[in-house]
């Protein structure tokens, strides 16, 4: 899917100075800057600048940090109400779930997995409009996808092999070859897509 755009980004007003909140949340979880950097995928120097209030993070960086620390972006900006202990249950609101939509508007990938598991497991809600297709290049050797059709029907292609999937069916296939998921039908297809990367 080329040049996706992010839909429904969390809305924030003004440049909040969240350095103290970030530092309190990080220290409350006994994380070093280096550990949080690896967990969130944000550079150590950027984290240091945010904590010193010498820079304000983008929405994308805020989303990574809130996922890594187990709080919502709203809580983050409100001063970290969850800073004393990590919550047993973290809820991500529908409007805070990032979506990748292709330029033609035929595909939507709602990112359901937390950022700290990226590179190990990723899972998405995939919605493909009639006539749409999600086409991907080969992933790393040993990578696999697990696709469950929740509504509609799709055709899955991995390398030279193709299979049609109907509602309620699941396909498991290698993705270290070019692969695609297409919707040749007349109704919208909704799926759960899990990407498993090798250890």
Residue 1: which pLDDT band, with cuts at 50, 70 and 90?
Answer: very low
Overall domain count for the chain: 2
At residue 17, the pLDDT reads 58
Please say whether the beta carbons of 75 and 10 come within 8 A. Answer: no
Task: Name beta bridge partners: 194.
Answer: 123, 146
Domain CATH number, residue 191: 2.60.120.10
- Let me know whether 133 and 174 are in one domain: yes
Q: Is residue 88 part of a domain?
A: no
- Let me know whether 106 and 179 are in one domain: yes
Domain CATH number, residue 36: 1.10.260.40
Residue 183: which pLDDT band, with cuts at 50, 70 and 90?
Answer: very high
Domain interval for residue 134 = 97-196
Higher-pLDDT residue of 83, 111: 111
CA nearest neighbour of 17 among 40, 49, 43: 49
The per-residue pLDDT for range 95-128, each reduced to its tens digit, is 888 888 888 889 999 989 887 776 788 899 999 9
- Let me know whether 58 and 107 are in one domain: no
Most confidently modeled of 21-30, 72-81, 90-99, 130-139? 130-139
Identify the domain boundary among 22, 43, 77: 77
What does the alpha-carbon distance between residue 135 and residue 112 come to, in Å, rounded to a whole number?
20
At residue 148, the pLDDT reads 98
Please say whether the beta carbons of 125 and 8 come within 8 A. Answer: no
What does the alpha-carbon distance between residue 175 and residue 146 come to, in Å, rounded to a whole number?
10
- Let me know whether 110 and 44 are in one domain: no
Please say whether the beta carbons of 99 and 6 come within 8 A. Answer: yes
């Amino acid at each position: 899917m080329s040049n996706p755009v992010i839909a429904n980004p969390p809305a924030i007003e003004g440049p909040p100075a969240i350095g103290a909140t970030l530092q309190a949340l990080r220290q409350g979880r006994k994380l070093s800057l280096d550990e949080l950097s690896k967990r969130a995928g944000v550079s150590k120097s950027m984290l240091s600048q945010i904590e010193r209030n010498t820079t304000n993070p983008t929405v994308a960086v805020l989303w990574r940090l809130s996922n890594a620390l187990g709080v919502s972006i709203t809580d983050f900006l409100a001063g970290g109400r969850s800073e004393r202990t990590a919550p047993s249950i973290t809820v991500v609101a529908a409007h805070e779930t990032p979506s990748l939509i292709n330029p033609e508007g035929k595909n939507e990938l709602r990112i359901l997995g937390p950022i700290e598991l990226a590179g190990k497991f990723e899972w998405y809600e995939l919605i493909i409009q009639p006539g749409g297709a999600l086409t991907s290049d080969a992933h790393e050797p040993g990578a696999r996808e697990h696709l469950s059709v929740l509504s509609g029907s799709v055709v899955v292609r991995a390398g030279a092999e193709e299979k049609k999937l109907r509602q309620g069916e699941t396909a498991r296939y290698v993705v270290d070859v070019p692969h695609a998921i297409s919707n040749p039908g007349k109704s919208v297809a909704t799926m759960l897509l899990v990407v498993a990367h090798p250890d």
